[in-house]
Structure 1
Amino acid sequence: MDTKCYTVITFAPVQGFIEKSRKLRDLYGSSFLLSYLACAICREAEKNQCEVVSPALINVTQGTPNQIIIARDFPQSIAEETFNTAWQKVVEVCRQYIENELNAFTYTWQRQWNAWSNHAWEFFWAQSTAAELCQEQSDGITEKNVTLITHARRRLNQIKTQRNWTAINWQGESSTLSGTEAIAHPHMTDKTHPLDSSKAAQTQEINQFYQQLSQTLGEAILDPSERLSIPELIKRLITLDVIAKQLNIAEKDLPSIEVPESFVELNRHDNNLWTGWFQGDGDKIGEYLRKLKDEDQDEAKSLNTFSSAMMKWGKNLKYDLPPDRKERAKVQNLDVTDGRIIYAGGDDFLGVLYRHDQTQLKPQECLNWFYKFPEIWKKHDQRITVSVGLVWAGHGVPQRDVLQHCRDAEKSAKKKGRDRLAIRILFNSGNYLEWVCPWWCLSQFLESSPNKSNNWTHFYNDIATLESRHAFEGQTQIALGLFEIYFGQANRQCLETHLWDKDDKTGILGNQPHDKEKQNIKALNSWVINLAKVGFHLAS
């Protein structure tokens, strides 16, 4: 792609209200909102005869990354105006919808909605031209091998450090979700004197407002006990067809209300069923793209190809959920899967495994799918690995906690070497167990013992007894010996050979040994101990 200018754009919420998605329906609304705003910029760029390099595919419902790379000059004034107009329309449509549907209330909250309309986001724009880059390279400011896209991205990162935003002030009670923003209600901006105001009367009005709003939207969208802020309400409302149509979203891109309504199926409190939640992300994407550049591939073309491949992979991930297509074909229904993909906008994804018929999905069935996951991942044909966190969660764990554990489990997989799966058993009490293992030896270790269920019990009991006697401290021979008893000599040899990263394998314990041998001993012992605990609970 021959161009003398690249424009890079991104945006971020000032108050972090996107990151504060503590429930599944909030997460879905956040993803859809980010995609809608990014799509607005991409489509305006195309109208201005610019070419969108990344994202390669513009899809509101599937997810569009909010870092946008555009070939040619896309002026900041047009880009920012497009973004602001799109966001302000979302705010206005949501406000008017509530006022029209709940017209028995008198509304004096306009000022607070206006504040969110004008001060919710930071917008970042940067550009690099061939002439500017050439001059900086001549002056020794920038390395000779830096490309226009890389140069534009660097400029964007510099601009992002210069924060320029206005915080939104508020009074009264705070949202039950975030705890850091005001509860949205009809008279939220009224100025009242403490001696004249009645807290009881205000509370009664808020309760009535949310009861009626919940009846209008349905409890799948808003629980009557919830008290949300303005941005939290927007995240819920934007998933409604009636809102999306007013935003002129194409029919094929409408976020069918069946999606958030179907989250009711995931109410684990009513059915006492455990569920398997997973979150993943591609490893070292930036480094991979730099390698493509070093191989003398056209950076814009390779970035566009990569973006297209990953977004197509994300779009098709739902078709690879268990059971496999052959099993679904037997019951003549390819749409019935044991789970759901919440989002998959590219190399990052979130999903949950469970049975739609309200019977218990066994942990072994989850494991069987993850044994195949490396092959599913390779379908995008990009030479990158993936780290995933799997949380096997009890029915009594609040959804917001499950989502947080998904994020934390994925971070564990990244921290302990990447290219691996972190498995967490999350109990109703909030306690959890975790074991992390590279993909290449996952099934090799978990499936190697005959009469597995019984062996896991013995292995677990032996570990518990030895751990209570502090038998593992200061050496690894007991852990390795016990591992050999239950998993065989060949697996012990494999474990000892591949403890840390090798040229041909991903290290079982991580990227490189710790500086102190004491830490290496502890890491190996912990890995064996956690294998016993996690394996026992998965088998039982």
Structure 2
Amino acid sequence: MDERHVLHFTFGPVQGFVAQARRVRDFWAGSYLLAYLSGLAMHAVEEGGGEIRFPAVRQDELMQRIRGQVPSPAGRAQIGSLPNRFSATVSDLTAGQRAADALYAGWRRIAGAVWQMLRLDDAVRDRWDRQIESAWEISWVISTDGRAVDRRKNMRVHLLPDEPGEKCTLCGQRQELSGLGLGSPESRRAMREWWAGVRRSLGEQSHNLGPRDRLCAICLVKRFFPLVAREAIGWAVQTNVPSTPYLAAADWLETLLRVDPAAAAGLYRVAREAGVPLTEASSRLPGLAEAAEAVDPALRNACRGLVSLDGKAFFVECIREQDEDLGLPLSGPQRDRLEAALRKAEERVGQAASPYYALLLLDGDNMGRLLGSDPREAQEDISLALGRFSGAVSQTVREHNGFLIYAGGDDVAALLPLSQAIPCARALRARYREAFAPLVPRVLPPHEGTASAAITFAHMKAPLTAVIRETHQLLDGVAKDMAGRDAIACRVRTRSGPAVTWWSPWEALPEESWTLLTAPSSEGGARGAAAYSNSFIYKLRSLLEVLPQGGPEADPFPEETLAILVAEYLADRGQVWPQGMSLGERREAARRRILPLLNLCRVRQRLGTGEIVAKGFSANGALLVRFLTQKGV
């Protein structure tokens, strides 16, 4: 009988490779490529007689496609569902090298297909090969200690080649491919002309290379991989994904379809007459597709068309924009007619579309430690729990009208409309806890099997690369470190940078406080967040600055603080009370409305013991409620 060993395999960079994305499709493609290459490495181990221990891949649809078991791509085969690390039992001590060779062979095949599509000249071949061959740092060990591969990663032997000249406008790290940009005006002119030639050679696909794009080989592969997938990996992948303006407009569009389908149909007709393209026809969000189907049959085709329009058509600032990347290709009269039609639709909804969308990241807590220190039986239980969770992610995101970027192991990345991000995060956390519940306390102690989430509410024109990078920092530095894990952190990111940051352990908030975040415009007894005017929010912020910053979590809010806030609330002329309501009844109603908001303003942290302690007060919770209510800052 062959002696069995444990292989631990990982490769990267991960966050850098994925975050270097100007467009949503770059973001999706980077995540998918990582998952696909990891699957190739796993498959090489399986073909050599090895058995994958982590993650659970038997039913994974992407893995089935790689094995050739699925005749046509379906469901999650279109989603990056495999993490960049795995462990396996093997009898061959060279299994790790075979896995690395398979990964790089697949990468070269994809890069070769992109090279052929772009029809680049041989003068840049050496630069292309240099960058392609240095793309990945691969680490693997044979050890029973799951943490050994992390120690191996710390032994840096992957030296990046020198990258002279002008840098890639997407990643900012590697040299742009032409090699002509050397700092002088003449060289920069030659560089721009070279890239203009590449763009012209793409013909109908020229829109995939922006007028200011000067990319390195690796960023070019990410950008054009979806277009060559059938040749490169054996099946087609999605080439149309929702844009950030489309995601930002989703809530507004859904409301318009509900309150006035005729106005929605009219806006579509004007937009098409103006020449707005149907760029979202293949990437419509599920909630919008359903809303379009629910209208009167006579209006249905027009409403289907509306939710297929380029997302920029729903923002006056984009209609007026002359920039090739940010505006629509319309003439002056076309812009005027479309703007007028949009203004009428905004009147029907009662407001303009918010320019903000949400990026959600969710990650299991302490997963590396759990997988690295537990016996094999526990690792298998954890792997199966992660498989159960991962299998539920796609449907959960779909139910919240989102677009799933990645769902592998304990990691999730998704883009969502503003109103659905926090509800989706709570639902995903619930699915995660359900998946791990059978393991507590048989395999895991009570405070394990948890997940943290980070949400950035980003302006649609904020650089996507920065949004992705900052959301990862929000997850690791705030939700996990400052809040103490098993927590959520949210941030508002304007075009110029972060504006509001808020966090809380999941179970620290009562449901009334969650309602302010998940249904901010609902009515009910407290009239939702609409009960708080801007002046009251600013009064609250001033008052919180002078409150004692500390005290046990169980301490009630100081009565004198509540009394002052109740008085300020009652003095707000914007508040409308039922006729005949006594002053005492108004005071009590004001108190009930204020307490959920104050709960959001209490800063809390989870200690290593699992205990949650109060760390003072911050108005950021109230400012986040105001943002979600007004759908902007």
Q: Give the TM interval when normalised to the shorter protein.
A: 0.7 to 0.9
CA change 1:82–1:501 in 2 (3 A) is: closer
CA change 1:313–1:524 in 2 (3 A) is: same
Instruction: Output the amino acid matched with 2:83.
Output: P
CA change 1:492–1:343 in 2 (3 A) is: closer
Instruction: Output the amino acid matched with 2:79.
Output: Q
- Matched with 2:329 is none
Instruction: Output the amino acid matched with 2:106.
Output: A
Asked if 1 retains the 8 angstrom alpha-carbon contact of 2:362 and 2:454, the reply is: yes
CA change 1:205–1:367 in 2 (3 A) is: closer
Instruction: Output the amino acid matched with 2:513.
Output: F
Asked if 1 retains the 8 angstrom alpha-carbon contact of 2:504 and 2:605, the reply is: no
- Please give the alpha-carbon distance, in whole angstroms, between the structure 1 residues aligned to 2:600 and 2:458: 29
Identify which of 244, 250, 260 aligns with 2:229: 244
- Please give the alpha-carbon distance, in whole angstroms, between the structure 1 residues aligned to 2:226 and 2:78: 10
Alignment of 1:419 with 2:486, yes or no, is yes
Alignment of 1:110 with 2:128, yes or no, is no
- Matched with 1:347 is 410
**Residue 114 of structure 1, CA deviation:** 1.9
CA change 1:88–1:422 in 2 (3 A) is: same
Identify which of 88, 113, 135 aligns with 1:93: 113
- Please give the alpha-carbon distance, in whole angstroms, between the structure 2 residues aligned to 1:393 and 1:34: 25
Instruction: Output the amino acid matched with 2:33.
Output: L
- Matched with 2:240 is 258
**1:121-161: per-residue Cα shift (whole Å, max 9, x none)?**
22212113xxxxxxxxxxxxxxxxxxx3xx2x333223212
Asked if 2 retains the 8 angstrom alpha-carbon contact of 1:14 and 1:165, the reply is: no
- Matched with 2:167 is 174
**1:233-264: per-residue Cα shift (whole Å, max 9, x none)?**
01112222xx2222243x3xx32213377579
Q: How does 1:112-261 map to 2 (within 5 A)?
A: 112-128=127-143, 148=144, 151=145, 153-185=146-178, 188=179, 198-199=186-187, 202-212=190-200, 215-219=203-207, 221-240=208-227, 243-249=228-234, 251=235, 254-259=236-241
Alignment of 1:532 with 2:622, yes or no, is yes
Helix, strand or coil at the partner of 2:160: coil
Asked if 2 retains the 8 angstrom alpha-carbon contact of 1:10 and 1:68, the reply is: yes
- Please give the alpha-carbon distance, in whole angstroms, between the structure 1 residues aligned to 2:384 and 2:550: 50
CA change 1:471–1:497 in 2 (3 A) is: closer
Instruction: Output the amino acid matched with 2:628.
Output: L
**Residue 108 of structure 1, CA deviation:** 0.9
- Matched with 1:132 is none
- Matched with 1:445 is 513
Identify which of 398, 402, 405 aligns with 2:470: 405
Asked if 2 retains the 8 angstrom alpha-carbon contact of 1:393 and 1:426, the reply is: yes
CA change 1:126–1:290 in 2 (3 A) is: closer
- Please give the alpha-carbon distance, in whole angstroms, between the structure 1 residues aligned to 2:14 and 2:238: 28
**1:499-539: per-residue Cα shift (whole Å, max 9, x none)?**
55489976264xxxxxxxxxxxxx3122xx22222222223
- Please give the alpha-carbon distance, in whole angstroms, between the structure 2 residues aligned to 1:429 and 1:442: 33
CA change 1:474–1:113 in 2 (3 A) is: closer
- Please give the alpha-carbon distance, in whole angstroms, between the structure 1 residues aligned to 2:19 and 2:603: 37
- Structure 2: gaps spanning 5 or more residues: 63-76, 243-278, 284-308, 319-352, 440-448, 517-524, 567-589
- Matched with 1:313 is 392
Asked if 1 retains the 8 angstrom alpha-carbon contact of 2:456 and 2:492, the reply is: yes
- Please give the alpha-carbon distance, in whole angstroms, between the structure 2 residues aligned to 1:314 and 1:471: 43
Asked if 2 retains the 8 angstrom alpha-carbon contact of 1:314 and 1:345, the reply is: no
Instruction: Output the amino acid matched with 2:230.
Output: K
Helix, strand or coil at the partner of 1:281: strand
Deviates more, 1:475-484 or 1:205-214: 475-484
- Please give the alpha-carbon distance, in whole angstroms, between the structure 1 residues aligned to 2:597 and 2:196: 64
Alignment of 1:275 with 2:357, yes or no, is yes
Instruction: Output the amino acid matched with 2:238.
Output: S
Task: State the TM-score, normalized to the length of structure 1.
Answer: 0.73
- Please give the alpha-carbon distance, in whole angstroms, between the structure 2 residues aligned to 1:503 and 1:181: 41
Identify which of 527, 532, 535 aligns with 1:456: 532
Q: CA RMSD in A?
A: 3.9
CA change 1:394–1:478 in 2 (3 A) is: farther
**1:212-251: per-residue Cα shift (whole Å, max 9, x none)?**
26644353x43232111111001112222xx2222243x3
- Matched with 1:389 is 454
Alignment of 1:62 with 2:79, yes or no, is yes
**Residue 372 of structure 1, CA deviation:** 4.3
Deviates more, 1:498-507 or 1:171-180: 498-507
- Matched with 2:546 is 471
- Please give the alpha-carbon distance, in whole angstroms, between the structure 1 residues aligned to 2:501 and 2:598: 23
**Residue 490 of structure 1, CA deviation:** 8.3
Instruction: Output the amino acid matched with 1:108.
Output: A
Instruction: Output the amino acid matched with 2:387.
Output: S
- Matched with 1:34 is 34
**Residue 164 of structure 1, CA deviation:** 1.3
Asked if 1 retains the 8 angstrom alpha-carbon contact of 2:549 and 2:616, the reply is: no
**Residue 434 of structure 1, CA deviation:** 1.8
Instruction: Output the amino acid matched with 1:463.
Output: L
- Please give the alpha-carbon distance, in whole angstroms, between the structure 1 residues aligned to 2:213 and 2:366: 39
CA change 1:490–1:429 in 2 (3 A) is: closer
CA change 1:368–1:13 in 2 (3 A) is: closer
**Residue 56 of structure 1, CA deviation:** 1.8
Task: State the TM-score, normalized to the length of structure 2.
Answer: 0.63
Asked if 2 retains the 8 angstrom alpha-carbon contact of 1:453 and 1:539, the reply is: yes
Instruction: Output the amino acid matched with 1:444.
Output: E
